[in-house]
Structure formats: C-alpha cells, structure tokens
Structure 1
Amino acid sequence: MSTHVETTGPLTTESGAPVSDNQNSQTAGVGGPVLLQDQLLIEKLAHFNRERIPERIVHARGAGAYGKFTVTADVTGYTRAAFLSEVGKETEVFARFSTVAGNLGAADAVRDPRGFALKFYTEEGNYDLVGNNTPVFFIKDAIKFPDFIHTQKRDPYTGSQEADNVFDFWGLSPESTHQVTWLFGDRGIPASYRHMHGFGSHTFQWTNADGEIFWVKYHFKTDQGIKNLTEEEAAVLAGQDPDSHQRDLRESIETGDFPNWTVYVQVMPASEAADYRFNPFDLTKVWPHADYPLIPIGKMELNRNPENIFAEVEQSVFSPAHFVPGIGPSPDKMLQGRLFGYGDAHRYRVGINADHLPVNRPHAAEARTHGRDGQMYDGRHGGAKNYEPNSFGGPAQTDKPLWADVAVSGATTESVAPSHAEDNDFVQAGNLYRLMSESEQARLISNLAGALAGVTRDDILRRAIENFRKADADYGKRLEAAVEALRG
C-alpha cells in the first residue's frame, strides 16, 4: 500500500496505465523469481539504463540559465537583424557556460577556458552565438581541432591528461602562444560564471538593409566585475565544492541577484579587411581597441533557472550555423569548421530532432521545415506534404539571403590563411605579456612553470619555452628560470 498521504493523481506507466504497486516487483509466488511479464519493472529498468545521452566531447561540464537581451543603441546602420531593430527591444535568451576539457563530472574551479554559449529566441528564428570567455583561441584552422582536443583529454595509454601531450602540441603549434598566455594568466580560473567576460571570439558578418557589409566581434563585459581564483584557491575549492560555479549561478538567480553583462561590438567596414595589419579572420588574434573601439549595443540579464538540468542544459544545443537575416559567417577557418561540426555533434549526441526540444526550438517564431521522421520525431507536421515546391500550401523559400555574398578567387587548395602586415604567431602574445603588471607577470610565470615542470622530455620543454621567448625575451627568460628551479 502506498505511504503517500497526498497525491496529484495515480502514478502510471509510460503508456498511461495506473500503477498498483511501485514498491514490489511481481514474482512467481512469495519469494520466487521475478517475472518477465512485470511491465513496470522492465520499463523502469530499461528507462534508467538509458537516462544518459553521450556527453559532449568538449564543454561537457556546464550550467545554464534563461534571461533577456535588451537593445540599448541604434545599430540599424550595421545590421538588419530584427531583434536588433530598435532601442529598448527585448529578446529571450538561454545561456550555457562550461569548461572545455573536463568531463561531465569534473570540477568547475579548474584552469580551462570557459564556454559562453547564447541562444537568442528571435522573431526570425533562433540565433546562436557560441563563444568563450577569451577573445582568442589556440588554433586558427578547424582541421587541427580534433588533434588539439586529444592533447587536452586523457591519454589513450595512461588514462590521464599528460603534460607532454599538452605542451608538445602547443610547442609545435606556435599560434597557440597568445591563448596559452591568456589561459595561464590571472583570468585562467574565473571565480564564477558571473564574474567573467564573454566573447563571440570569431569575426561575423553584419549586413544592413542597404546591403552594406561589416565585420564584427562581440564582447560581453560582466557588470559584476572580474573575479578570479589563484591556483591555490582553485585547488581547495575544486575539492571542497566541485559544483561551485553551477551552484553560484543558480543561487544568485534564486535570490534575485540577477547577473548582467553589457554587450559591445567592434565594427570593421568590409572594405578595410584586406589591408588591416592583422588578418581579421584569424581566431588567434584580437582587433586592438585603438583600431576598432568597443561600441555598446545592449544588456544581457539572466533571471530564470532551468527547471530540469538534463532537459534544458544537457540537451540544449548551440550551433554557430544558426543565423538570422542580417547576420552571417566570415571566412574565419575555425568558424567555417564549426558551422558543420556543432550541428553534427548534436545530431549524434541528442538526435536528429534535437531542435524540436523545448529549450532548442524557436520561442518567438515557428520552425517550418520538410524534415520528417527519425528518432524522437513528435509528428508535429501531421499529414502535411514533405517536399518543396508543392501546390498544397506548404512553406516555400523566400528568395532573400540571410547574409551578403563574399567574393572569392583563386584555385582550390589546402591553403594557409593569408598573412597581413603585422601577422605572426607571437606579436599579440608579447603585447599581452607587456600589458600585465609585474605581479600579474609573476603569477603567469608561476602558473606556466608549474604546468611545464610536468613535461618529461627536454626537447618538448625547450620548444615550448622558445615560443614564449619569441613573444617576449623577458617572458621566456623568466619562464625558463622558474621551470629549472622547480625541476631542481
């Protein structure tokens, strides 16, 4: 007999049949073997075995929240995107923050970039902006991404992350020097998701109503202020409270202390890209603010927690290919690879109908496609025809491109990205180092030396240090001395 004194109605099986006993399975007589005919038992065990979907290969450990984006400046001169069309306009958003390398059960307080993924539920469909808490990345071409992530994950032989793998790849990929300097600096371990900036990182295309093209970069500046953890503080917190960042985000929203970010863009007229001193589509480079100042355009507030972590955070999907009219991609080779890679990951991990789930489907628009069937299809199309063109009143193409065409020329080839006047793999890493105060430099050296001290091969160690020396002679000299001191 049930011990519940209040109910909301009878417990049922997944097919809706009432459950008479949820405490005892059916047996062949008292004390006998369990019967295969016990539908409730079989259904519960089978569902339990399938409660987890494959975790994300990267960004597995994350937390999310809903909120709103509010336009605070007129940007119609740059883009015709409807959700940016007037000052004061609000758009619902869903944000997911995450670490990169850790698995689903990893601790939050670790030295790792943080994912900063946003879904804008606009009236023209969902717009996804999938960025990080750093304005740059380790590599500039998506063909290197699987190799890079393999170095950050567990070694196939030892089952552990290996410093040899990490610094071997970074040393052989000198374009990573800028991002590594970011990662081992003070901002490498944010105190919480609320106390870090976010960046679209890539360059994107904005197109206005007149067809003019602009290249843009997004910046989300935390209104809570930057707060970070030292290596020592993070080690203690990760052990005491592995869920520290997720807990902080949830509890701040529960208490009404809603986190906010001020949103800025850098805008480059398309005509200036070819002659800019850095390749504007290189993900390992920033656009110095002196060249392209930050323009404030809006505010983002997170004010509602998910009701179910699995349904709304674990099953949420973001794809940089989800654009809306007036916004599009750039020739950034990392972005180009991600346009395919993210959607393909979602199709494998969540299923071909992942975009039908409540957290992923459009909230302010209606998805009208001819895609049918597949795992978890909900039959939403009824008996409507599943092809186009058709003469039965089905959805049809608009003949209006979402973004502007970009001229290309030359032969198809495995090409290196074009080099601009001041392009090299070390200049911006050196600039970043020299921007740091003496105390910031000292912490950077200490953090990097601690990681490098775990490298076992001298050739890998020398090559890694040499990249930092090329960024700044003092940087390399101090790092070499610190590593030698640690290694005795």
Structure 2
Amino acid sequence: MSQPPVTLTTASGIPVADNQNSLSAGPRGPLLLQDFHLIEKLQHFNRERIPERVVHAKGSGAYGTFTVTHDISRHTKARLFSAIGKQTETFVRFSTVGGERGSADTERDPRGFAVRFYTEEGNWDLVGNNTPMFFIKDPIKFPDFVHTQKRCPQTNLKSATMMFDFWSKAPESLHQVTMLFSDRGTPDGYRHMDGFGSHTYSLVNEAGERVYVKWHFKTRQGVKNLAAADAVRLAGEDPDYAQRDLFNAIAAGDFPRWDVKAQIATEDELNAWSARTGWNPFDLTKVWPHGDFPLQAVGTLELNRNPLNYHAEVEQAAFSPANAVPGMGYSPDKMLQGRLFAYHDAQLYRVGTNHQHLPVNAPRCPFHNQQRDGAMAIHSGGAERNYATVEAGGVDPRGMGHGEPPLALHGAAGRYDGRGGEDDYTQAGNLFRLLTDQEKRNLFDNLSGPLSQVSDEIVQRQLGHFDQADPSYGAGVRAALKARGRNIA
C-alpha cells in the first residue's frame, strides 16, 4: 500500500515551496543569497563528513510562551498569529556580543536578544539585539568590525585604537556608538532591557500582499541600566550577574515579560518616507521613527521555565534569521541578507552538521527532507530515499519562498558604495538630543575613557562626527577629554 505524500520541509520544519528551481533574479539569474533552501541543501551536502566545532559566546537562556493579544492576521498568514489568545512555546537566548564565554555580563557591549518561536509550521527565529540599529550597513565589513571588538593579534588585549580607528572611518556607526556609550550600553541584567528584531522583515497575508515590519520587545520590568562604575565593580564581584538574576527570578516565579509590538508599513509608505527624509528604510544603521510609523501591539512574551542543562539547551541553541515560517519573509536589508547565510553556516561549524536535530533546536512539528549522515545524525531518515526526483514546474511554484509575491529588483548588479553621500548624522543627533543632561554627561565620560587612549588623528576624526551630529555632542566629549588631561582643539 502506497504511503501518502509528505510535505517537504527544511530541517527546521518550514515548508519548502519549490525543491526544483533556485531563486533567481529573472529567469536566467543570477541566484539570490536569500534562497535559504538552496543554501541549506548545499551546506549540508558539503558537511556530510564530521567537521570540528568552535565554542560560542557567553549567554543565558530560558523557555517561555508568546501570547497573541491583538489581531494582525490582515498582514500575515502565519498561524501563530491566527487568533487572539493563541500561545506558542518559545526559547530566548540573551548574550553579550563581543566578549568570550568567560567574560563579565556587565561589560559595555550590545546584548543579543534572540527569540525562537516553536510554531506548528516550523521554527521562527527572530535574532536581534537590545538596540534597534547596528554599527554597519554592509555584511562585507562585518568580519572587520568584529575583529576590532576582539583582541589585538599582537598584544592579545582589547584595543581602543582598533575600535575607534574603525568607527572614526565609518560615520554610519555613530548612531549605534552613541547608544553603546550611553547608559544603555550597560543594562541592569537581561530582564530590564528592551529587545529589537533590528532588521526590516516582511509579512505576507493570504492574498499574497507584502508589508514590511520591524519588531520590538518592550520590557514590562522597566528599563534599568547600571552606572559605569557599578558595571565595572560587578564585573569583578559577580561576573555572572545577568545570568544569576535571570535564573533566580524565573526559579522564584517572578516571570519576566515583554510586550511584543511592531512597526508595519507598505512599500509605497516606505518609498514616500524615503523620498521625504533621504533615508533608506532597509539600512540597519537607521530606525523608523515612531512618529512616522507608530508601534502596534501584537502580543506578550513571558519567560517561565529555566533550562535543565546549560550546555545542552543554551550553549547548543543555534538560531538563524533565515528561519521564517509561511507568512513571514525578508527584505532588501543588506545586513539581513548576509545574516541569512552567515548564521546557519556558523552553527554548522560551531555545533555540527545536524544541529537542528538537538532538542532545543528541533521543530515541534514534523519535518521531512533528504539530508543524511554527518555528525549527530539523530534522525537518519530510515529507509526513505535520500534524493528528490526532478519534477518540471516545481512542487509549489508560487513565486519565492512560501508563496510570497515576487520581490521587485531595481538597478544593475554591481557593488554600490553610498558612504559619504548618505546622512549618517541626523538620527545619531536625534538620539543624543533625547538624553537628559545627566545621561549626556555620562555619555561624554564613557566616550572619553577609551578615546583618551588613542592617537590625536583618530580622536579628531571621531570628534568631527560628534560635531556633525550635534555641536554640543562634540563639545561635551572635548571637555571630558580635557578633564582626563587630553587637550584637543
């Protein structure tokens, strides 16, 4: 008796729309990096022999639930949003970004804020930070940027010169640098900070209509930050401060919660906004102002269960922003496009070829594919064949991804450098002007510490960016440098 056909999915349980044709720019190509099914197939094939792995940065994690409180089904067909009151199991991992696994939780650093939703259509991973922007806008500079945040190859020490040499030559970084050196650069644990998807993503409804979205997690515990001196003190007294705070709160039944909200806009609305402001809505160094795109309530995230084993469930948790379920999609955000490849590839190296089989990573829904062998092949596929035959027309040829409408492309293929011709200062200045007088003084003092350690050339270059964001910004940092014995004109 023949078996009924099964739905082909990715290893994360997400349905595959077309297993016959790669996603291309026009019928003759070239191919697009966001074709995650293609990338996953090739990556897994290349790693069917056991690779070595690397360790991951320090983090903390917990399980919880996402509950829908407001109807957004007009924007997305994703089933987790199908009814008010619907709950979806989640796993959240917080982390420091630049430090090693043994580093202190209170270091001045962005914080990772990664949320996995175990939906009935596969895993949705929203991999963001506690900041709505980032330092760079093109993934080709990501390895360079991260190297500046790590250790000097000669001294094996963190280097203010490396950091500010990079930032001072990349004015696009000023928005995030301002956030990093403000009080929000040292949050008081993980429960008292907001989270952001940061990138622009998309939603697709049953009619195949696309809108773009930015995700926000607003802490119900209230935003609290550590004074710089307290952050340094805790780094010595209790380097696991944030881990301890999160675990103990959940263990005591004091479950942390976040209100999940979204900024939603049509392509026409974003085009009109871009024409008015000159800002690219898909530029990760920019934000969508709430006055232009108000926050809309969506649901509530609650963390209510601690992992039983840190290594198995937190260290081996492997997220990827490419994990988007039907009704969700990507955008032309260049940094997002790079992360669609880089995150899954990093997990293949770090954890192993079949990391998606591990309990914390496995989808809660059935999954079927032709991936076989390699390290940790917990689900071998049994006697099922390990290939798909060629079928003209595709399995479900409804455009790209999971029935999304085709994404229009504009312009010839090339390498485009907008640096120097784009506005990298207005939003950074707006953020600066939102700070209270005391917060500004803290910002000046936090910046003057590492800047006092670098050359005059780098300091002058960085001060020039502060001046363009707001003259009082540059003046304040100059005064703080002078107080440290560094006179800069």
| Superposition deviation, residue 409 in structure 1 | 2.8
Partner amino acid, structure 1, of 2:414? T
Q: Find the counterpart in structure 2 of residue 39 from structure 1.
A: none
SS in 1 for 2:215: strand
Partner amino acid, structure 1, of 2:102? G
Q: Find the counterpart in structure 2 of residue 369 from structure 1.
A: 369
Whether 2:316 is the aligned partner of 1:318: answer no
Q: Find the counterpart in structure 1 of residue 460 from structure 2.
A: 462
Inter-partner Cα distance in structure 2 for 1:404 and 1:333: 20
Inter-partner Cα distance in structure 2 for 1:419 and 1:302: 43
Residues 9-20 of structure 1 mapped to structure 2, 5 A cutoff: none
Q: Find the counterpart in structure 2 of residue 54 from structure 1.
A: 54
Structure whose CA Rg is larger: 1
| Superposition deviation, residue 200 in structure 1 | 0.2
Q: Find the counterpart in structure 2 of residue 471 from structure 1.
A: 469
| Superposition deviation, residue 297 in structure 1 | 0.4
Deviations 1:167-213 (A, max 9, x none): 00000000000000001111110111000000000000111111111
Residues 203-214 of structure 1 mapped to structure 2, 5 A cutoff: 203-214=200-211
Q: Find the counterpart in structure 2 of residue 38 from structure 1.
A: none
Q: Measured at CA, do residues 184 and 387 of structure 1 come closer, stay the same or move farther in structure 2, by a change above 3 Å?
A: same
Out of 237, 241, 244, the residue aligned to residue 244 of structure 1 is 241
Q: Report if the CA contact (8 A) 1:279-1:419 is conserved.
A: no
Q: Find the counterpart in structure 1 of residue 25 from structure 2.
A: none
Inter-partner Cα distance in structure 2 for 1:476 and 1:223: 34
Inter-partner Cα distance in structure 2 for 1:479 and 1:390: 64
Q: Find the counterpart in structure 2 of residue 70 from structure 1.
A: 67
| Superposition deviation, residue 390 in structure 1 | 8.2
| Superposition deviation, residue 399 in structure 1 | 4.0
Residues 420-459 of structure 1 mapped to structure 2, 5 A cutoff: 424-455=423-454, 457-459=455-457
Partner amino acid, structure 1, of 2:317? S
Q: Report if the CA contact (8 A) 1:66-1:305 is conserved.
A: yes
Inter-partner Cα distance in structure 2 for 1:416 and 1:325: 33
Partner amino acid, structure 1, of 2:281? P
Inter-partner Cα distance in structure 2 for 1:418 and 1:476: 21
SS in 1 for 2:265: strand
Q: Find the counterpart in structure 1 of residue 252 from structure 2.
A: 255
Inter-partner Cα distance in structure 2 for 1:487 and 1:406: 55
Inter-partner Cα distance in structure 2 for 1:207 and 1:439: 44
| Superposition deviation, residue 271 in structure 1 | 1.6
Partner amino acid, structure 2, of 1:385? R
Inter-partner Cα distance in structure 1 for 2:84 and 2:378: 38
Q: Report if the CA contact (8 A) 2:357-2:379 is conserved.
A: no
Higher relative contact order (CA 8 A, sep 6+): 2
Deviations 1:404-457 (A, max 9, x none): 32101321101136999xx501110001111111111111111111121121x1
Partner amino acid, structure 2, of 1:230? A
Q: Measured at CA, do residues 338 and 131 of structure 1 come closer, stay the same or move farther in structure 2, by a change above 3 Å?
A: same
Q: Find the counterpart in structure 2 of residue 411 from structure 1.
A: 412
TM-score, length basis structure 2: 0.85
Q: Report if the CA contact (8 A) 2:58-2:103 is conserved.
A: yes
Q: Find the counterpart in structure 2 of residue 486 from structure 1.
A: 484
Inter-partner Cα distance in structure 2 for 1:349 and 1:227: 33
Inter-partner Cα distance in structure 2 for 1:298 and 1:389: 42
Q: Measured at CA, do residues 419 and 408 of structure 1 come closer, stay the same or move farther in structure 2, by a change above 3 Å?
A: farther
Residues 142-161 of structure 1 mapped to structure 2, 5 A cutoff: 142-161=139-158
Partner amino acid, structure 2, of 1:430? G
Deviation above 6 Å: which 4+ runs of structure 1? none
Out of 122, 125, 133, the residue aligned to residue 122 of structure 2 is 125
Q: Find the counterpart in structure 2 of residue 297 from structure 1.
A: 298
Q: Report if the CA contact (8 A) 1:352-1:374 is conserved.
A: yes
Q: Measured at CA, do residues 267 and 238 of structure 1 come closer, stay the same or move farther in structure 2, by a change above 3 Å?
A: same
Whether 2:82 is the aligned partner of 1:85: answer yes
Q: Report if the CA contact (8 A) 2:373-2:380 is conserved.
A: no
Partner amino acid, structure 2, of 1:366? P
| Superposition deviation, residue 360 in structure 1 | 0.2
Q: Report if the CA contact (8 A) 2:70-2:298 is conserved.
A: yes
Q: Find the counterpart in structure 2 of residue 49 from structure 1.
A: none
Q: Report if the CA contact (8 A) 2:53-2:349 is conserved.
A: no
Residues 33-52 of structure 1 mapped to structure 2, 5 A cutoff: none
SS in 2 for 1:238: helix
Whether 2:341 is the aligned partner of 1:340: answer yes
Residues 197-236 of structure 1 mapped to structure 2, 5 A cutoff: 197-236=194-233
Inter-partner Cα distance in structure 2 for 1:397 and 1:227: 50
Inter-partner Cα distance in structure 2 for 1:311 and 1:80: 33
Partner amino acid, structure 1, of 2:381? H
Q: Find the counterpart in structure 1 of residue 192 from structure 2.
A: 195
Out of 112, 116, 122, the residue aligned to residue 113 of structure 2 is 116
SS in 1 for 2:144: helix
Q: Find the counterpart in structure 2 of residue 48 from structure 1.
A: none
SS in 1 for 2:214: strand
Inter-partner Cα distance in structure 1 for 2:339 and 2:257: 27
Q: Report if the CA contact (8 A) 2:372-2:380 is conserved.
A: no
Inter-partner Cα distance in structure 1 for 2:395 and 2:300: 33
> Which consecutive residues of structure 1, in runs of 5 or more, have no partner in the other structure?
1-51
> Which consecutive residues of structure 2, in runs of 5 or more, have no partner in the other structure?
1-51
Partner amino acid, structure 1, of 2:351? V
Q: Report if the CA contact (8 A) 1:445-1:482 is conserved.
A: yes
Q: Find the counterpart in structure 1 of residue 179 from structure 2.
A: 182
Q: Find the counterpart in structure 2 of residue 378 from structure 1.
A: 378
- What CA RMSD, in Å, does the superposition of the two structures yield over aligned residues? 1.7
Q: Measured at CA, do residues 68 and 388 of structure 1 come closer, stay the same or move farther in structure 2, by a change above 3 Å?
A: same
Partner amino acid, structure 2, of 1:311? A
Fraction of identical pairs, as percent: 53
Q: Find the counterpart in structure 1 of residue 21 from structure 2.
A: none
Q: Measured at CA, do residues 107 and 165 of structure 1 come closer, stay the same or move farther in structure 2, by a change above 3 Å?
A: same
Q: Find the counterpart in structure 2 of residue 27 from structure 1.
A: none
